[in-house]
Amino acid sequence: MKIKKSIILFALILAIVAVGSSVSFAATIDVNNTMSNNDIQAKIDSAELGDTINFAPGEYSDIAFKLNKSITLNGNGAILKGSNSSSQAITLSAPSDITQYKDISIKNFVINSATGKYAIAQSGNLQGLMLDSLTITGTGNKADGIRTNSITDLTISNCIISSSRDAINIMGGSEYTIIGNTIHGDRNAISLAGDTNNYNITGNNIYDSQFGVYYGGGVNFVTITNNNFTNIVNGLAFIKAAQNTLVENNNFKDNKIAIEIKAGDTHHGAPTTATNITIINNNILNSSYYGVLLHQVYDKSIGSVINIENNNFCNNDGIDTNGWAIIDALGLSNMDNSQSFEWGSSATLFDLVKDYIAPSENGTSGNDTYENGYTAGFADGNASGYTSGLADGKSIGYNNGLADGKKVLKPAKIIYSTNTVTVGKTSTKTYTFVNAGEKTGSKTITFSFSKSLINKISKYSLPKGSSYKYNVKTQKVSLTVKNLVSAKFLKVSYTIKK
């Protein structure tokens, strides 16, 4: 019996040894800065799948590495200076055996791009890429920091990227996580395009750039959470795509425009449709132009397919350079957002703004139909005809005007809304007037105002084209706006200290 057990035990040991001999263990291959680029490339080429190329700290010059299989480059703080003879410092491209093109990791490097060159560029259908703890410095608006194309499962984490054209430029693919990075001094901090989907952009600090996150064509299913956007021309620019996006718990501060959503852009094919966008629980502060700008977005989209709720707006000053209208003035502020103001500042309504699309009678505009039969024009931008009725109930059709070719303009229709914001002992009331007609017009409104309140006004805003008269006897104010043109708005405000 003992002999039989010994034979069985010996057979098991042989089996274990045989199995073990077939297992390939990952190796660590050391390199240092006394080696040339070609020497290091030879180490990379000879590495087996799963191996790590371990760089000694120091400066490595004239670098142009090529990766095409599952390996790790660990920099340990090594500084890579890109080569002027190559388009990028590190190139990832597919090998003939595409099954090896997966699970690549590059971490712990400082990469200084050569003039006009990319730091890292990828092509081909890569399955799995990790870029972690990289410091990438570009050479201005000439090339990108990281440029990818058709990756499934990409993580960019804990990187510092600056002075590039696009710090992160993603063209195609899916399953992206961009987390914990600091990005500044670029044209686009993060540029997304090329039929890409399933993004998680979270915990990044983005500042001093032209665009924070820019949507090119085909971007879909994006979550943008817990990021800081500071001193940027346009924090979030949903321009050439505007769909299926959640923007939550971000801080926008000292930007020109915090968020812009644009529909109808045709630069990448068919006009974009703004749909299924939620902007919730964000701080949107000190925008010198607008907090949220809705560009070519129709009224019926707001509160349905575009939801902007529970955000804190503060001191978004605004300018009227394009005739864009204030959302509150159009009676569309059915969303629950708060306004707060620093002590001593005046309230504004430039938190939530849209370009005004003048309505017409009984018609459609592109794919949108107004509830009351309103038309702004077809997709080609031409105004549609409208129908006007006579007293006998019969109608005369007008197609962009009468037989003499002159357009029939609808009369001026000036509407106004009011908004009051109280902070501590300061209360600011704003009257916003909008001309919803087509002809230029004027309007006067009258309201009661006691003598005691007149004496408490600490500040007022009375722009050109507006005036007021106070009747001491009746204690009423007559507020007048004159020559307000179609689709323009004008706001008058006063602040009272109690």
Written as one string, the DSSP assignment of 144-192 is -SEEEEEEEEEEEES-EEESSSEEEEEEEEEEEEEES-EEESSSEEEEE
DSSP 23: P
Q: What is the rounded distance in angstroms from the CA atom of residue 194 to the CA atom of residue 151?
A: 12
Q: Taking a C-beta distance cutoff of 8 angstroms, is the pair 290, 258 a contact? A: yes
CATH number at residue 447: 2.60.40
What would the pLDDT profile of 63-120 be if each residue is shown by its tens digit? Answer: 999 999 999 999 999 999 998 888 899 999 999 899 999 999 999 999 998 777 899 9
347 and 400 both lie in a single domain: no
Mark whether 400 and 418 lie in a shared domain.
no
Per-residue exposure over 273-284, b if at least 16 CB sit within 10 Å of its own CB, e if not: bbebbebbebbb
**HSE-up of residue 184 (Cα within 13 Å, Cβ side):** 10
Q: Do 217 and 168 share a structural domain?
A: yes
Q: Are residues 178 and 256 in the same domain?
A: yes
* Tokens coding 376: 């702004």
Residue 373 has pLDDT above 50, yes or no: no
Task: Please indicate, yes or no, whether the overall pTM of this predicted structure exceeds 0.85.
Answer: no
Q: Tell me the longest C-alpha to C-alpha distance in the chain.
A: 123
**pLDDT higher at 1 or 310:** 310
Residue % of the chain over a pLDDT of 70: 71
pLDDT digits (tens, 9 = 90+) for 460-496: 777 777 887 878 788 888 888 888 776 556 677 777 7
113 and 139 both lie in a single domain = yes
One domain for residues 141 and 235: yes
Q: Is residue 75 part of a domain?
A: yes
Give the chain's domain count: 3
In a domain, residue 318? The reply is yes
For residue 22, tell me if it sits in a domain. Answer: no
Q: What is the pLDDT of residues 198-239, one digit of tens each?
A: 899 999 999 999 999 999 888 889 999 999 999 999 999 998
Report the alpha-carbon distance of residue 82 to residue 113 in Å, rounded: 5
Q: Could you tell me if 122 and 161 lie in one domain?
A: yes
Provide the CATH number for the domain around residue 310. Answer: 2.160.20.10
Q: Would you say residue 368 has pLDDT above 70? A: no
Residue 490 lies in a domain: yes
Dihedral pair phi/psi, residue 15, rounded to 5°: -65, -40
Residues 207 and 299 in one domain: yes
Domain range enclosing 245: 28-355
Q: Tell me the three state secondary structure of residue 16.
A: helix
pLDDT tens digits for range 5-44:
555 555 555 444 444 444 457 899 999 999 999 999 999 9
Domain co-membership, 341 together with 403: no
Q: How much is the mean pLDDT over the chain?
A: 76
pLDDT for the residue numbered 294? 83
Verify that 394 and 418 share a domain, yes or no: no
Q: How confident is the model at residue 289 (pLDDT cuts 50, 70, 90)?
A: confident
Q: For position 489, what pLDDT does the model report?
A: 60
* pLDDT tier for residue 396 given thresholds of 50, 70 and 90: very low
In a domain, 386, yes or no: yes
Answer yes or no: is pLDDT of 48 > 70. yes
Distance CA 157, CA 421 (A): 41
406-443 per-position pLDDT tens digit: 456 667 777 766 667 777 777 878 777 766 666 788 88
User: For strand 466-471 and strand 476-484, is the pairing parallel, antiparallel, or unpaired?
Assistant: antiparallel
Residues 195 and 339 in one domain: yes
Cβ pair 89, 64 in contact under 8 A: yes
In a domain, 348, yes or no: yes
**Residue 9 within any structural domain of the chain:** no
**224 and 323, same domain (yes or no):** yes
Convert the pLDDT of each residue in 185-197 to its tens digit.
Answer: 989 999 999 888 8
Give domain status of residue 15, yes or no.
Answer: no
Unique residue bearing structure tokens 């370009």: 355
